[in-house]
Amino acid sequence: MNETGRPQDFPMSNPRADRVRDVAKLAGRPARLKRGRFLAEGPQAVREALSLHRERTLAGGPGVVHEVYASEACLERLPELADLAQGVNLRLATDEVLAAMADTVNPQGILAVCSFVDVSLESVLDAGPRLVAVMCQVRDPGNAGTVLRAADAAGADAVVLTASSVDIYNPKAVRSTAGSLFHLPVVLGADVDELVAACKARGIGVLAADGYGTVNLDTLQDENAARRLGATDVVSDYALENPTAWLFGNEAQGLSDAELALAEHRVAVPVYGSAESLNLGTAATVCLYASARSQQGS
């Protein structure tokens, strides 16, 4: 950027330049792991990354965003992005250069190179979370991003991915979070046995979302509503308003028998129509919102 805080006058125009190739390599896992950086593509993701960057640097901590590449048209359309990027290396680039850098054909005129943002499991649990989404062996990046976004929308305190789950920094996963990756703590590579043991030691209940579960989610919500109205004689399998970690399983096989055995209860989302089941993102959204709604009045 120049002295006025605006990007340089001449856009990067060579899609085969070394810098362009270095950024493009971050679409691959080996380069991400080696450099500890990933790509955020599109105005929404970059906006949230820059907001987190500003929040952390104002607090005296390390930033999140290393570089931003944007087209002139994008910055003219969304001038607030340039304002948010004050203090960050912001470079103008042609659409051809941006397409060469990005994982998508059209990165919507802007992308950012960001540092990994995941945190330790201990830091999450020591903060006393009330609602945690745990993805066990979730392999599809789009599904992982969707669950993370749903957890953010439901006001969850953290998201945890087990060691066998997809890399959340996969470009498709990052896009699917729609910026939520920068909103709440994310733990990667967790051991599910250790996670569950740590949750139980801290008084956090563990529920497994399971289409064949014997506990009905609607029933748990009805019982919570009755308690909120003052009923004292409600006998419940589980108090949904309590601090809870939800386990969500693999897209095809669901949770394994071993993972199901770790939970206090296997909870089913009732299906009233003819569909065989709900997909992962929908089931996770329903479960997380059920807990969130129950906790609001507790």
Q: Is the pLDDT of residue 252 over 60?
A: yes
Q: Is the pLDDT of residue 290 over 80?
A: yes
d(CA 11, CA 3): 17
By residue count, the chain amounts to 298
Predicted pLDDT of residue 251: 83
DSSP 8-state assignment for residue 93: B
d(CA 21, CA 82): 24
Predicted pLDDT of residue 235: 75
pLDDT band at 231 (very low <50, low <70, confident <90, very high): confident
Strands (E), the chain: 37-41, 65-70, 89-92, 110-115, 131-135, 158-162, 186-190, 205-209, 215-216, 244-248, 265-268
Q: Is the pLDDT of residue 298 over 70?
A: no
pTM score, whole prediction: 0.92
pLDDT band at 39 (very low <50, low <70, confident <90, very high): very high
User: For residue range 70-108, what is the model confidence (pLDDT) as tens digits?
Assistant: 999 999 999 999 999 999 999 999 999 999 999 887 779
d(CA 266, CA 85): 46
Cα distances (Å, whole numbers) of residue 296 to 59, 206, 290: 30, 19, 10
Predicted pLDDT of residue 6: 53
- Among 30-44, 68-82, 224-238, name the one with the lowest average pLDDT: 224-238
How much is the average pLDDT of 108-131?
96
How much is the average pLDDT of 284-293?
96
Percent of the chain with pLDDT over 70: 96
How much is the average pLDDT of 169-187?
96
Q: How many CB atoms lie within 10 A of CB 203?
A: 9
